[in-house]
Chains A and B, each alone.
Chain A
Amino acid sequence: MDAMQWLYSDIVLDHFKNPRNVFDPDEKFAYEAEGTVGNVKCGDQMMFMLKIDEGDVIRDVRWRTYGCASAIASTSMLSEVTKGLHIREAYNLRPEDIATRLGGLPDNKIHCSVLGDKALRAAIDAWLEKTGRAGLYRNEGATVICTCLNITDRDIETAVREGARNWEQLQERTKIGTVCGGCKVKGESLLHEYVHIFGEE
């Protein structure tokens, strides 16, 4: 079947058909750190497992997911890219880079590719915490959302991970959008995204 007949690019198709570095229950993969995000109730969940050496270089990865074709393909691609990277480089990979490498994803499927990226970062955060460096890269590579108060997407993510579930709760924690309010649409969309990924219920 060629790509024209399929929903996504031929690269997505290839990674969907033959996902790389996918976790195999029989393999007994030993790993230093693990991160899980998403919720099956919301339709997708992702777990990333990392084998990391003393120099903070990612030597091997495995992942598993309850997720759709885009989640499978993008995480497969991400897992390939991640191998051999220093954890700092891996932490700063962007979902857009993965989508580009995949030859693009439909707009409504970008969310699914974000999940792998978040799981990878959660795994690196777990590693940093384990090695006494919690939160080391948290503000790296962040995009400013609220220009009045210099609040970034990472700040929103952190607030959601710490319990913010709606705009008011996000404002209580970050003061986002309390000056000109121009960031509300973008901020709410990120909030929605992060609640979906990190929210418990």
Chain B
Amino acid sequence: MERRIVYMDYNATTPLHPLVRDAMTADMGVFANASSMHEAGRAAKARVDSARAEVAKLAGVPNPDELVFTSGGSESNNTVFATMFHVGRRGGRRKIVTTAIEHPCVVNAASWLREEGFPVVFLPVDASGRVDMEAAEREIDADTLLVSVMSANNEIGTIQDVPALCRMAKAKGALFHTDATQSAGKVPVEAAAWGVDYLTLSAHKIYGPKGVGALYVRKGAPIEPLIRGGHQEHGRRAGTYNNIGILGFGLAARLALEDLEGRAARVRVMRNRLRDGIVERVPDVRVNGHATEVLPNTLNVSFPGAEGEAILLYLDLEGVQVSTGSACASGSLEPSHVLLATGVGPELAHGSIRFSLGSLTSNEDVDYVLEVLPPIIKRLRRMSTVSVA
């Protein structure tokens, strides 16, 4: 089979949608400050506002003013945790309840609050990556300030029951945040219907530009700016509007929403074919994550006996671009905290590969991966100190 480049790392980032790129390129000349009062400024502001309306629709937010543009998912998440710092130190509730499988920016922001003296609980998940609801029921209490649970996991794709968790939080009077960075554009996101107070989005995961994200802040929910300065975003986030980026985000959101079902159905078929093909052609593998409550594009597989970074780089030599939960690839000694939390042992976590598919993935790409992957695993297992049945 002829060598080809197969990008299967869409959960890391996505290419710009061609229409988004065209629109952004065409608008490169729109330089005016969207906060300026003159005509050019008002024109720029109008573009920002229409983009805000598009992103609001994707997030299931009826009132676009409840959306704050940020520099991305990490900033949105950090804004929520920084807000909790300010709210918590004024007295009253202080407990933060989150999960063991959040994105590092949530894990680290929560750990920072713990260092600052806030009680922080990382809820356990089951083998499929779903939050332990009994533990949630037990931990979310009258002292809980914030519950933060990602809508879907970036590494294994497991989707959480956000509405149920949100109801649990509301019943105890706690605020609720969900990081929907990976869900948006792949599965429906309904901020208002779910009843959340905060919701995080990122443009570059939905074929928009890098460096732009959004935070939904329900009207009435506390918000403290992470970046202080001018009165942009109604004082919720200072800094000159990123016109072009926001414009690209808006269009990417519109395109994602228009074809949400179609995109999901298309990648789901290929993702499942890849999964079945791997299971059929490679002995002794473990598919990680939930069997059905999973992002349509995400497939995480452990290959016992083969180390993840070596698999990744052999695949890379064949033109296949994926990511791994191996410690060696991250430069640390600890493998994926997500896989460990699901009870996958370190031996398996070190040998895990995430395939994340997207709009440019073709059936030929899946065939190609199914062709080149089995010999790589076989080769690594033959040279391995770990014997696999």
Contact = CB atoms under 8 A, between A and B. Distances in A.
A47 B329 contact: no
Nearest to B348: A40
Interface string A1-30: 100000100000000110100111100000
Contact of A24 (B345, B350, B382): B382
B313 interface: yes
A65 B313 contact: no
Interface stretch (A66-74, A132-140, A145-153): A66-74
A25 B327 CA distance: 27
Contacts of A72: 310, 383
Interface in B281-321: 305-310, 313, 317
Contact of B383 (A40, A64, A70): A64
Interface string A28-66: 000000001000111111110000000000000000111
Interface residues of B, number: 24
Interface string B203-231: 00000000000000000000000000000
A108 interface: yes
Contact of A45 (B308, B327, B328, B386): B386
A42 B384 contact: no
A65 B384 contact: yes
B347 interface: yes
A118 interface: no
A47 B384 CA distance: 9
Contacts of A23: 383
Interface of A is mostly: mixed
Q: How large is the interface on A (under 10, 10 to 19, 20 to 34, 35 or more residues)?
A: 20 to 34
B26 interface: no
Contacts of A42: 327, 333, 346
Nearest to B350: A43
B385 A47 contact: yes
B350 A40 contact: yes
A112 interface: yes
Of the listed residues A16, A36, A66, A69, the one surrounded by the most CB atoms of chain B closer than 10 A to its CB is A66
B335 interface: yes
Interface string A157-196: 0000000000000000000000000000000000000001
A68 B383 contact: no
Contact of B385 (A16, A24, A36): A36
Contacts of A112: 328
A46 B386 CA distance: 10
Contacts of A43: 307, 326-328, 333, 335, 346, 350
Nearest to A1: B317
A93 B329 CA distance: 27
Contact of A25 (B307, B350, B382, B386): B382
B208 to A, nearest CB: 27
Contacts of B328: 43-44, 67-68, 70, 112
A112 B346 CA distance: 17
A160 B241 CA distance: 57
Contact of A68 (B326, B333, B386): B326
A22 B381 CA distance: 12
Given A40-B350, A43-B328, A69 B385 contact: no
Nearest to A40: B347
A24 B307 CA distance: 18
A184 B132 CA distance: 43
A69 B384 contact: no
Contacts of A46: 385
B91 interface: no
Contacts of B350: 40, 43
A121 B317 CA distance: 32
Q: Which 5 A-B pairs have the closest CB atoms?
A: A68-B309, A68-B328, A108-B331, A43-B350, A41-B346
6 contacts: A40-B346, A43-B326, A46-B385, A66-B384, A67-B307, A71-B310
Given A45-B385, A66-B385, 10 more contacts: A7-B313, A24-B382, A43-B327, A43-B333, A45-B386, A66-B305, A66-B307, A69-B313, A108-B331, A196-B333
Interface of A: 1, 7, 16-17, 19, 22-25, 36, 40-47, 64-72, 108, 112, 196
